[in-house]
Amino acid sequence: MKQRIETQRRKAHVIRLTATQLVIALIGMLAALWADGLPGVASVILGALVALLPQAFFIQRLGILRDGRRASKAVNLFRAEAGKFGLTVALFTAVFVAVPPSNPAFFFSTYVAIILAHWLTPLMPKKSHN
């Protein structure tokens, strides 16, 4: 029972974090559309993808959302974090080689804002279970 509650708590945190990050991306897209048009929106989308895809890999690799037992070994955490870092480097490389953002300011500001959303998530109201 305790493990089930912990799994539900982790899922709720990940869902709130993802919702916060998507709202940040949406606000960035609206600001880019107003300031720079569609090329700016494309830069925001690229920045959001470079931030969100490695995080999704980390969550999946570590098994944060899986029900049941979760391996809590430091080696698994290290591998998940190393994979996340490697994927981030690969995505940055791919973006700047294959599809350079038309507005790097929108790209980097979106990336940084989404990464820093971890600090905003605890401030969001929690859904009550009454």
Dump the DSSP string for 22-84.
HHHHHHHHHHHHHHH-HHHHHHHHHHHHHHHHHHHHHHHHHTTT-SS-----HHHHHHHHHHH
If DSSP codes are grouped into helix, strand and coil, which group holds residue 126? coil
Is residue 124 domain-resident?
Answer: no
Total tally of structural domains belonging to the chain: 1
Assess whether pLDDT exceeds 80 at residue 4: no
Residue 37 main-chain phi, psi, to 5 deg: 80, -160
Side-chain-side CA neighbours of 129 within 13 Å: the count stands at 4
Band (31; pLDDT cuts 50, 70, 90): very high
* Mean pLDDT, residues 106-123: 86
Q: What's residue 130's pLDDT?
A: 46
pLDDT band at 28 (very low <50, low <70, confident <90, very high): very high
Domain presence at residue 60: yes
Q: Is residue 127 part of a domain?
A: no
Q: Which residue in 69, 64, 60, 66 sits closest to 2, CA to CA?
A: 69
pLDDT of residue 43: 93
Whether residue 62 is predicted with pLDDT greater than 70 in this model: the reply is yes
Give me the amino acid identity at 24. Answer: I
Compute and round to an integer the Cα radius of gyration of the chain: 17
Within-domain flag for 72: yes
Provide CB contacts within 8 A for 86, sequence distance 6+.
none
pTM value > 0.85: no
- For residue range 83-97, list pLDDT tens digits in order: 999 999 999 999 999
Separation in Å, CA 103 to CA 8, 34, 36, 64, 78: 39, 13, 8, 34, 34
- Give the domain extent around 85: 2-118
Is 51 part of any domain? yes
Tell me whether residue 27 is in a domain: yes
Does 130 fall in a domain? no
More confident residue, 76 or 27: 27
Q: Is residue 42 part of a domain?
A: yes
